[in-house]
Chain A
Amino acid sequence: MTYIAKPKFHHPGLKKNELGYTHRDYEGKISTLCAGCGHDSITASIIEACYELSIEPHRVAKISGIGCSSKTPDYFLGNSHGFNSVHGRMPSVLTGANLANRDLIYLGVSGDGDSASIGFGQFAHSIRRGVNMTYIVENNGVYGLTKGQFSATADRGSKSKKGVTNTDNAIDLVAIALQLGATFVARSFSGDKTQLVPLIAAAIRHKGASFIDVISPCIAFNNHAGSTKSFDYVREHNDAVNRLDVLVGRDPIAVDYAPGTVQVVEQHDGSKIALRKIDADYDPHDRLGAQTFLQKHAAKGQIVTGLLYVDPDAEDLHEHLNTVETPLNTLEADTLCPGSAVLDKINASLR
């Protein structure tokens, strides 16, 4: 197999962000996924979001499981450390990494096979623990890398490329994330960059467990008639609840509001996300409402996209564990080891 590095050539006219980084600095290797795969669009959105947030690329740790989707971290943020772990276990590896160094940004990328089947437990528990991360599932309803078997998010009654009908009920990861207490829950569509980029950016700024389910059509195995994850099907059934932009730090610019109510959500770190609601009644602070909303639309066969729920005051696992601010991986013997005098006392107490 090949390893294809992108040419290092930088166009002198490339736009720079606040930190002086260009788009190129957020790119990775050339994708080896099928041309047209939804996952590549998500990669592009991640690059865009990180560029816009002016993140230092090397301060991001990208962790994934196994699958086509899990390969994507190699295709963005080439100067960050990446970790392609084992199938379905991204959440635990990310949790450990996060515990070791709370100062980095953790991006978890997974597939629906990875997260809704073999890794369903790890998905649930990392959300429930409130690990500070952005957890993105690139959801195509099939196992791409193993060639087209149904995944657990495939809708009941949908057909595989080989013509087999799925008789199992689907798992809705968004509904589960809401139920488990995720403090940022969103869904989007890989082809809708306008919606996806700010969602990813907001998720990164959010402190706590952010979960984004991105419907991401698989060109090879799930883009046929009868599939409910095809480009055409999703475009027809997409019912966006809101649009949002991220306003970072000291630069709170007004967003391009469309008609309807505007809602500004203040994040824990001070950054604000402004939501432009399409549905006038939608309140992204209402977990129960979000669950009902989701279910109502699911019953109608519609896919709800947008920011469904956010808790601006969320705490993360480090706060639950009351860990020191200094990253644990920098602590050395002088501060970790109680020393021989203490050991002598311990010895004395054991006689």
Chain B
Amino acid sequence: MPDKKPISSVNDFVVRFANVNGSGSASANEMFARAILRHGVPVSPRNIFPSNIQGLPTWYEVRVTEHGHLGARGGVDMMVAMNPQTWDKDVAGIEPGGYLFYDSTKPMPSTKFRDDITVIGVPLTAITNSTYTDPRQRQLFKNIIYLGALSALLDMDPKLIEQLIGEQYKGKEKLLSSNVHALHLGRDWALQNLKCPLGLRVKKSDKVGDRIFIEGNSAAALGAVYGGATVCAWYPITPSSSVAEAFTAHCKKYRHDPETGKAKYAIVQGEDELASIGIVIGASWNGARAFTATSGPGISLMTEFIGLSYFAEIPAVIMNIQRAGPSTGMPTRTQQCDIIACAYASHGDTKHVLLFPEDPAEAFEFAAAAFDLAERLQTTIFLMLDLDIGMNHRLCRPLKWDDAKQYDRGKVMTAEMLEEGRDFGRYLDVDGDGIPYRTYPGTHPTKGSYFTRGTSRDRYARYSEEGTVYADNMQRLVRKFETAQDLVPRPLQANAERPTKYGVIYFGSTSPAMDEAIGLLEARGHQLDRLRIRAFPFHSSVASFLAEHDFVYVVEQNRDSQLRQLIVNENGIDPVRLVPIVHYDGSPITARFIAKAIGDHQDHLKVTPLRKAVS
């Protein structure tokens, strides 16, 4: 018996699987998460993987969360330690009173264990080797066997797992039955040889509701399909590649003409990011809805073109699935670190629209909306995801679409309008909102054509380097950006139960951890009003929120507190009142981290004169 009381918890714990990349464990681990969902219990899984293909350590973490906390929690209650390479670190990471599940085929010296945890040995290799001869089968079924053993240990309903296997191998009877067999091998061994269940248990519940389980990248790609994107140009880069891959898959399903079989879309894998954004700009200039998906290094390469999109006023949609930078940084780790790079991308005075979805459901909505915005505003729209939302399955509300919705193609002057004698000046601000009319190439034989260039020109698109003409244009671009403020998704505010002078601003994938952290902070006696920013340019309510609070914490996942910089810069406020709370080690931010950082600061405020000095 361990010298610490074993953790006992129903539907609220964290299991982490330590595997070796390429061992085929991913699908068994994901099935584990899905099986818990089928029990009606919310889960929040995360892939933690290296930037290589085979051989290096990889982890898959499943947070089982009856309360529906979808952020990472931190800490591990049960470690399924299948990777000898990371054994010591994995064992050290278990919470006191936690559980270690391992392959006990080969005996381990007692020094390799801890006294304060429960150790569960299952001779997985021995069981697999006695059942299978083929080496690949041995490797793959070992994963299903441990899934079976876990199902017994955690008191899971095997029928639900069998159902999942059935769905996965529909029509492939042989694979189906051999997987079910492997599942029961593990399960039966555990039931016969171990004390089942453990203190950690899964009990049927009804907390999942109609929510869906989807990766952000896939949802964003679906948003592009619904939003009417017909041209996609991309260049492979983690963690964004799966956006283009999902878009391709969705298009294959939903975008072929039933009669001719022809594609109502064009997808090009560019030779690089320069070409990808160039294709997007060329297509959008010519009136198609086009997008690219990339990550930080790709954004760096695209900046010259982004400047062109801004200045020549050509729509473009860029989905930036952020990863840890700078440079190649940590390609498979998450951060929210391209805020400044995207907000002011390119040389000269530029400003770009950024959208910050919090989960796959919003990724879908914002992706579709990005095309309306790009055409309405005739500029680049960035959809800012990150690896944590992009590449992990998240539980979120079902995706919704209003069939009455028409695409907003923005201000396009048609041949009829030109025939009516409407004055067409490509850069004329007819409506005072800073947004001019454009024409598509080929519109009219004699009217409405113009020359697009990144060089300065007058309101009628005529080349001009006259200072006043240039300044006039730059001013209109500022007006247009102000117009954007009312078109982008507004921030969402949630107030504390009691009036408070303290607020917190956060955005994107930080949301679930923040929602949970609020509860932890309340438990510590701290009340905070919350503002979730969903877009840049900032709506005026951001300034009001700042004005109404003595201190506002800005929680984000980068070193330099980039959103805070942007807020300070754009609102011209005293930076002292904005307290940075940053997390940037590449792992997703946790509620525990946020609550500690803000809680400590709050405690500190109460006992030092600092509060007086700066409030």
Q: Is the CB of B445 within 8 A of A340?
A: no
How far, in Å, is A315 (CB) from chain B's closest CB?
A: 14
Q: How far is the CA of A330 from the CA of B230 in the complex (A)?
A: 10
Q: Is the CB of B274 within 8 A of A339?
A: no
CB neighbors of A among B183-213 (8 A): 208, 210-213
Q: How far is the CA of A351 from the CA of B38 in the complex (A)?
A: 8
How far, in Å, is A9 (CB) from chain B's closest CB?
A: 16
Is A99 at the interface (CB under 8 A from chain B)?
yes
Is B279 at the interface (CB under 8 A from chain A)?
yes
Q: Per-residue CB proximity of B265-285 to A under 8 Å, as 1/0?
A: 111101110111111111111
CB neighbors of B among A316-351 (8 A): 317-318, 321-325, 328-333, 335-340, 342-344, 346-347, 350-351
How far, in Å, is B71 (CB) from chain A's closest CB?
A: 20
Q: Which of A78, A99, A330, A331 has the most CB of B within 10 A?
A: A99
Q: Is the CB of A93 within 8 A of B282?
A: yes
Is B72 at the interface (CB under 8 A from chain A)?
no
Is B288 at the interface (CB under 8 A from chain A)?
yes
Q: Is the CB of B462 within 8 A of A3?
A: yes
CB neighbours (8 Å) of A96 from chain B are 231, 233, 278-286, 288, 290
CB neighbors of B among A1-60 (8 A): 1, 3, 56-59
Select B271's contact among A79, A82, A121, A350, beta carbons within 8 Å.
Answer: A121
List the one stretch of A100-108, A156-164, A185-193, A235-243 in contact with chain B: A100-108
Q: Which of A57, A92, A101 has the most CB of B within 10 A?
A: A92
Q: Is the CB of A342 within 8 A of B254?
A: yes
- Nearest B residue to A3 via CB reads B462
Q: How far is the CA of A100 from the CA of B275 in the complex (A)?
A: 15
How far, in Å, is B456 (CB) from chain A's closest CB?
A: 9
Is A129 at the interface (CB under 8 A from chain B)?
yes
- Nearest B residue to A63 via CB reads B282
Q: Is the CB of A84 within 8 A of B452?
A: yes
CB neighbours (8 Å) of A294 from chain B are none
Number of A-B contacts (CB under 8 A): 233
Q: Is the CB of B453 within 8 A of A350?
A: no
Q: Size class of A's contact patch?
A: 35 or more
Q: Is the CB of B266 within 8 A of A99?
A: yes
Is A183 at the interface (CB under 8 A from chain B)?
no
Q: How far is the CA of A7 from the CA of B276 in the complex (A)?
A: 40
Q: Is the CB of A101 within 8 A of B286?
A: yes
Q: Is the CB of A89 within 8 A of B403?
A: no
Q: Is the CB of A322 within 8 A of B275?
A: no
Is A112 at the interface (CB under 8 A from chain B)?
no
Is B344 at the interface (CB under 8 A from chain A)?
no
CB neighbours (8 Å) of B213 from chain A are 350-351
Select A1's contact among B440, B442, B464, beta carbons within 8 Å.
Answer: B464
Select A101's contact among B274, B279, B280, B442, beta carbons within 8 Å.
Answer: B442
Q: Is the CB of A99 within 8 A of B283?
A: yes
Report if A86-B308 is in contact (Cβ < 8 Å); known contacts: A79-B445, A99-B231: yes
Q: How far is the CA of A331 from the CA of B280 in the complex (A)?
A: 17
Report if A85-B278 is in contact (Cβ < 8 Å); known contacts: A80-B449, A350-B212: yes
Report if A93-B279 is in contact (Cβ < 8 Å); known contacts: A324-B260, A335-B264: yes
Q: Is the CB of B400 within 8 A of A325?
A: no
- Nearest B residue to A95 via CB reads B279
Q: How far is the CA of A79 from the CA of B450 in the complex (A)?
A: 8
How far, in Å, is B311 (CB) from chain A's closest CB?
A: 11
- Nearest A residue to B290 via CB reads A96
Q: Per-residue CB proximity of B218-247 to A under 8 Å, as 1/0?
A: 000010011010110100000000000000
Select B444's contact among A58, A91, A346, beta carbons within 8 Å.
Answer: A58
Q: Is the CB of A325 within 8 A of B452?
A: no
Is A94 at the interface (CB under 8 A from chain B)?
yes
CB neighbors of A among B54-112 (8 A): none
Is B402 at the interface (CB under 8 A from chain A)?
yes
Q: How far is the CA of A331 from the CA of B451 in the complex (A)?
A: 25
Is B28 at the interface (CB under 8 A from chain A)?
no
CB neighbours (8 Å) of B465 from chain A are 1
Q: Is the CB of A336 within 8 A of B228?
A: yes
CB neighbours (8 Å) of A121 from chain B are 271-272, 274-275
Report if A347-B449 is in contact (Cβ < 8 Å); known contacts: A92-B278, A322-B261, A325-B262: no
Is A233 at the interface (CB under 8 A from chain B)?
no
How far, in Å, is A229 (CB) from chain B's closest CB?
A: 27
Is A83 at the interface (CB under 8 A from chain B)?
yes
Q: Is the CB of A331 within 8 A of B230?
A: yes
Q: Can you name 15 A-B pairs with beta carbons within 8 Å? A: A58-B441, A85-B278, A92-B276, A96-B281, A96-B288, A97-B441, A99-B283, A104-B286, A124-B271, A323-B265, A329-B286, A329-B288, A336-B264, A343-B400, A350-B213
| Further contacts, 19 of them, CB under 8 A, given A3-B462, A328-B288 | A56-B445, A57-B445, A61-B441, A79-B445, A96-B231, A100-B287, A100-B290, A104-B442, A122-B271, A122-B274, A125-B270, A318-B266, A329-B230, A336-B230, A337-B226, A338-B225, A338-B226, A340-B402, A346-B222
Residues of chain B whose beta carbon lies under 8 Å from any beta carbon of chain A: 37, 208, 210-214, 222, 225-226, 228, 230-231, 233, 254-255, 257, 260-268, 270-272, 274-288, 290, 304-305, 308, 398-403, 405-407, 439-446, 449-455, 458, 462-465
